[in-house]
Chain A
Amino acid sequence: KQEVTQIPAALSVPEGENLVLNCSFTDSAIYNLQWFRQDPGKGLTSLLLIQSSQREQTSGRLNASLDKSSGRSTLYIAASQPGDSATYLCAVEGSTLGRLYFGRGTQLTVWP
């Protein structure tokens, strides 16, 4: 069974810092990996999707990498801002098409 772990569980940083969120998964047979942002009590906003054949994806200040063989992904956030404060979730789509397996998330707080 696919298990997804995210480290750290919580992170508090001052504005302007560059930071890295980590995600690991136990079964490397995945189709893709997706990073989401979730604001308190709200739905999920898709940030980046990396197909299994790709190594990284970039969108603005966000860069996500994927090492499928080692079962790891990182989300890099450059020049963090207070508006980045949210919970960040990673999810993998494995051998069961369409089913996403989620980690518990990293709760990020960026203070001014």
Chain B
Amino acid sequence: ELKVEQNPLFLSMQEGKNYTIYCNYSTTSDRLYWYRQDPGKSLESLFVLLSNGAVKQEGRLMASLDTKARLSTLHITAAVHDLSATYFCAVEADKIIFGKGTRLHILP
């Protein structure tokens, strides 16, 4: 059974700092997705990673995928308050499984 582990589950950081969220998964997959969710809102697609070594960047966020290590990272560069949200990774095998989410709180 596919298991997806995210860490940390909660992160409080200062504006301007860099940090990384990790997503580990237990079985072979080459499809991984990152989503953002604001409180009470739906999920916004951030990145679709479809192959080993895939790297995608959008603004201050960069995501990568290492299928051999079964690991994806979401790196935040020079964080700003507007990035405060919950971030989910989701891995697809025979179905999609979400990680528990990382609640990111960026202090102004």
**A-B interaction:** no
